[in-house]
Structure 1
Amino acid sequence: MEPSLFSKIIEGEIPASFISKNELWVAFLDINPRTEGHTLVVPVEQKQRLRDLSKESQHSLMEGVAI
């Protein structure tokens, strides 16, 4: 699978303003925000669908969204 835009951001190939992160997810500001503070929370592991993530990654991602 070719690296996604998000994978390139996570790897530092594309600059981003990171808000928070852990080993399973990262949160960064959207470059075209709909509202002030529009933040994207994405898993570090690249998958086609959320359901393809491990249960641990799914739970951790949702905890990141809740922060």
Structure 2
Amino acid sequence: MTDCLFCRIVAGEIPATVVTETETTLAFRDIDPKAPTHVLVIPKEHHREIGDVEPQLAGEILATAHQVAKSEGIDASGYRLVFNTGEDGGQTVFHVHCHVLGGRGLSWPPG
């Protein structure tokens, strides 16, 4: 989709600080981090929200997110994975993305 920010990142039209990449996923640093580690994991193929994603791809997104946590050194101390879905869920870019947050204590409940 030419008007989708994350599709344009996948296409290389918009720069991003890539953390890791697989055949089906791309992980890059959030430009407005909310924690010392704040990485977004997206499917390379456009899907509007997590409910649109096939189970296998959802598993690949989660596996990439865990790999990010390991490579960032937050897997042992703990981290949070967040999928914002829909406007009321806080989704602002309508391309599935998983936030990997960590590197500090994270309060509950979230905002």
TM-score tier after normalising by the smaller chain length: 0.7 to 0.9
Matches within 5 A, 1:1-67: 2-67=2-67
For the pair shown, the structure with the greater C-alpha radius of gyration is 2
TM-score normalised to structure 1 length: 0.86
Contact 1:17 1:28 in 2 (8 A): yes
Paired residues in the alignment total 67
Percent identity between the two aligned chains: 31
Which structure 1 segments of 5+ residues have no match?
A: none
Deviations 1:2-55 (A, max 9, x none): 541111111111100000010111100011111222101111111112121222
**Which structure features the higher share of helix residues?**
1
Instruction: Name the CA distance, whole Å, in 2 between partners of 1:37 and 1:15.
Output: 19
Corresponding residue SS for 1:42: strand
Q: Which has the higher contact order (CA 8 A, sep 6+)?
A: 2
TM-score normalised to structure 2 length: 0.55
Which structure 2 segments of 5+ residues have no match?
A: 68-111
RMSD over aligned Cα, in angstroms? 1.4
